Structure 1
C-alpha cells in the first residue's frame, strides 16, 4: 500500500484543481467580465476534455510504460494550470482548462488501475479507495483553501498553488514510484467487446446520471446558496461537502472489501445521495443540519466511484485500465453535461431550485438503472 501513496499525491493534485473553478466563479467572472453561467462552462470544458481523453488515450497507450505516461501527463497538467493563471483573455483561459482536463483524463484512470495492480487481490478495494480518496482530499482542501487564497489575494494565485503541487507530485513519482506492471495491450476485438458489453454500458450509465445530478449541481453552488440562503459565503458549505467526500472515499474501500456486494452497496449509496439532495433546500435555514446535508451529499457522491470501478474490473479483468478510464470518462462527461444544463437553467432565469429538481430527476434515473443491472446481470466474484 506504500507505493499507492505516491499515486495518491498525483490524484490529490487533480482533486485540488478539478472543482476549484466552482469556488472561484465570482473572481473569474469579474476578471473576464463574464456571467457565472459563462464561467461555469470552464468546468464543462475541463470535464468534457477529461471525458474524451480518458478512454481514448488509455486504449491508445495500452502496453506503454505506465510510470512514464503518468509523469508526462502530470507535468503537462502543471503547465496548463500555469497558462490558466496568466491567461490574458477568457478564450485562452478556456483553452488552458481544456488542456488541463485532457491531461487529467490521461493521469487519473491510469493511476487508479495502476494502484490496483500494485496490491494483492484482497487489498484492491482499499487501493481504489485510497487513490480516489486522494482526489477527494484535494477537493476538501483545495476548494475552500483556494477560495480563501482568492479572497485574500486573487484567484490567479490559487492556480499557481496547483502548479506547485503538480510539480511536487511529478518529482515524488519520479523519485519513489516503482515500475508499474504493464498489461499486454488487448487485441482490437477485445477492446471493442468492452464497449459493446451491455453490463458495462448499464454500469457507466448509472455513473453518468449520478454525475449529472451531483457534480452538475455542485458547479453552481455559489448562485444556489445566494438564492436559497441569501449568502455568498461558500467556505463552510464547501468544507462540509469536501469533508464528506473525504470520509466517503477513504472509508468505502473497507466497506467494499468487507461487504463484497458492490451492486447492492451502490443502491444504498445512490438512495442516500438522493435523499441528501432533496434535503438541501429543506434544511438550508436549519442550524447545523444544513451542513449535515452537504456532508452526506459529498460523502455519497465520492463513495459511489470505488464500487463502480470494482464492478467494472470484475466484468473486464483483462482491460482494467480501459474499463476504469471509461467510468472516469463518463463521470466527467456527466459533470460536463450537468454544468452545461445548469448554465442553461441559470441563463433562462427560471430559478436555481430548478437545479435541485433536475438533480433529483437524474438520481431517480440512476437508481432505476442500478436496479435493472442487479436484476439482469450477475457480478463475477
Structure 2
C-alpha cells in the first residue's frame, strides 16, 4: 500500500480519538462549565449530526480542488477548533467547536476515502479502506484510553489540547505525501456534480448504504453503553472499562485488516460468514455478560465481526458509487455516521426496559437481524461480484490524487 495511505491514517487516528473521547470526559466538562451531564452529552450528538451533514457538503465544496489542499484545510480547521474548545469557558462556544470539528472531520474522511481509492488499482479499494480505517480502530485501542487517562490527571482541556497538537504531524504528513497539483479534469472524463449526485438514485448504492448504516448503528449502539455492562452486570471495577474498550478496539483492528484482504475479491464470503456470526454474538454477549471471561472474549470477537462486516459494506459503497469519483467517499462517510448517530439513540431507549443495561446488546442484535433480512434476498446485489466491478470505463475511472483520470484498462 502507498505511503500516503498511512499518512492519512494518522489524521484519521487523531479525529477518531476526538470522536470517541467524550464518553469519559462528559462529567468533568459538565462540572467545569456548570451544565448538566445530559446537556454536555449534546456535544456527542452535535458531532454525529455534523459528520452526517458535513460529508456530502464538504465533499461537494472540495471536489474541484486538489486533494492535498482539501485534506490539509480540514486537518487545520479540526486542530484549531479543538484549541478554541480547550480555551473556552462557554458551553455554546464549545458546542459550536464540536460542530465545526465534525464538519472538518467529515470533509477530511470524505476526501480521504476517495483519495485512498484513487491511490490503488481499481480492485484494491477494500485494502486501501482497511488501512484508512485502521486509524479509527487504533484510536479506540490507544487514543481513547490515553485520552481518558490524561483527562483524569490533567482535566478535559488537556485532552483537547493534545488532539489539537496531534493534528500537526498529520498535516505535515499530508504536505509531504500528497501531490499539490490542481485538478485537471477533461470534459469527457469528469462527471458533473449533478451527475455524481444522481448516483444516489441507484437502488444498489442505496441498499449497501442502508446496510452499512444498520451494521454501524448496531456497533455504536452497544459500544456507547458498554461501561455499565462491565461495572454493573459483570461486577468488575471501573478500571476494567478501558480494558474492555481496548479489547473491542483490538478486535476491530483485526476485523478491518482481515476484511480488507477479502472485501475486494470475496465480499460475499465476508457477509455470508460474518453476518450470522455477528447476529448471534450480540445476544450471546447479553446472556453471558455476567461472566467476566465471556465478556472479555466476546468484546474482542464482536469488535472484529462488526468492523469486518461494516468495512466490507462501506467498501461496497465505493464500488457502487464508481460513477461519482469525487463524491463516493462522502456517501460512505454519511452511511457510517447515520449509523453512529442513530444506533446510540435506539440503544438508549432500551435502558429503561426490563433488560436494563443489557438492552443495547439486544438492540444491536435486532439491528443486525434487520440488515440480514434485507440483505438475504438481495445477496447477489450486496456481494457485487468482482467481475462486474473491476472493469472501469472512462466515464467512471477513478481520479488520482493529482486530479487526472487513471488509465483505463481494457
TM-score, normalised via structure 2 length: 0.84
Equivalent pair of 1:15/1:135 in contact (CA under 8 Å): yes
Q: How many residues end up aligned between the 2 structures?
A: 379
Which of 220, 237, 245 in structure 1 is aligned with 2:252?
A: 245
Please list, as runs of the form range in 1=range in 2, the aligned pairs for 1:236-315 lying within 5 A after superposition: 236-257=243-264, 260-315=265-320
Cα 1:166–1:73 change in 2 (3 A) is same
Instruction: Quote the Cα distance in structure 2 between the aligned partners of 1:130 and 1:375.
Output: 26
Residue 27 of structure 1 corresponds to which residue in structure 2? 28
Equivalent pair of 1:49/1:101 in contact (CA under 8 Å): yes
Equivalent pair of 2:350/2:359 in contact (CA under 8 Å): yes
Residue 175 of structure 1 corresponds to which residue in structure 2? 176
Residue 197 of structure 1 corresponds to which residue in structure 2? 202
Equivalent pair of 1:37/1:346 in contact (CA under 8 Å): no
Instruction: Quote the Cα distance in structure 1 between the aligned partners of 2:382 and 2:358.
Output: 36
Residue 402 of structure 2 corresponds to which residue in structure 1? none
Residues 1:40 and 2:34 aligned together? no
Instruction: Quote the Cα distance in structure 2 between the aligned partners of 1:236 and 1:180.
Output: 45
Residues 1:154 and 2:155 aligned together? yes
Which of 232, 235, 246 in structure 1 is aligned with 2:238?
A: 232
Equivalent pair of 1:22/1:221 in contact (CA under 8 Å): no
Cα 1:26–1:294 change in 2 (3 A) is farther
Equivalent pair of 1:37/1:347 in contact (CA under 8 Å): no
Residue 213 of structure 2 corresponds to which residue in structure 1? 208
The higher radius of gyration belongs to 2
Q: How big is the shift at 1:178?
A: 2.8
Name structure 2 gaps, 5 residues minimum.
390-410
Equivalent pair of 1:43/1:339 in contact (CA under 8 Å): no
Instruction: Quote the Cα distance in structure 1 between the aligned partners of 2:143 and 2:32.
Output: 21
Residue 81 of structure 1 corresponds to which residue in structure 2? 82
Q: How big is the shift at 1:353?
A: 2.5
TM-score, normalised via structure 1 length: 0.90
Instruction: Quote the Cα distance in structure 2 between the aligned partners of 1:195 and 1:321.
Output: 13
Cα 1:156–1:280 change in 2 (3 A) is farther
Q: How big is the shift at 1:135?
A: 2.0
Residue 395 of structure 2 corresponds to which residue in structure 1? none
Q: Which moved more, 1:370-379 or 1:318-327?
A: 370-379
Name structure 1 gaps, 5 residues minimum.
none
Cα 1:228–1:326 change in 2 (3 A) is same
Cα 1:338–1:256 change in 2 (3 A) is closer
Question: Cα RMSD over matched residues?
Answer: 2.5
Residue 220 of structure 1 corresponds to which residue in structure 2? 225
Which of 356, 360, 364 in structure 2 is aligned with 1:355?
A: 360
